[in-house]
Amino acid sequence: MGKESWSLVRNHLHKELISWSEEYINLLGGIGRFEELKRSLLADELSMVRKFIVMSLFLKITFK
């Protein structure tokens, strides 16, 4: 399983959490932990977007 596959796994887990939110809120002990878990699954996607933006800016500056 490559690095690309992990984003798919996180995406599927996020969809699972949303689909069964009431059950997971009860299982995890409250909405706070549920929201924290959801955010943790998306955190890597946000860092990928940031890396893309930084790389784009770097290339713009470098090849001006």
The two tokens of residue 36 are 């924290």
**Residues 12-37, mean pLDDT to the nearest whole number:** 92
How far apart are alpha carbons 14 and 30 in whole angstroms? 17
pLDDT for 54 equals: 64
Domain extent for 7: 3-62
Total domains present in the chain: 1
How far apart are alpha carbons 43 and 24 in whole angstroms? 19
pTM: 0.61
**Residues 6-16, mean pLDDT to the nearest whole number:** 85
How far apart are alpha carbons 31 and 13 in whole angstroms? 17
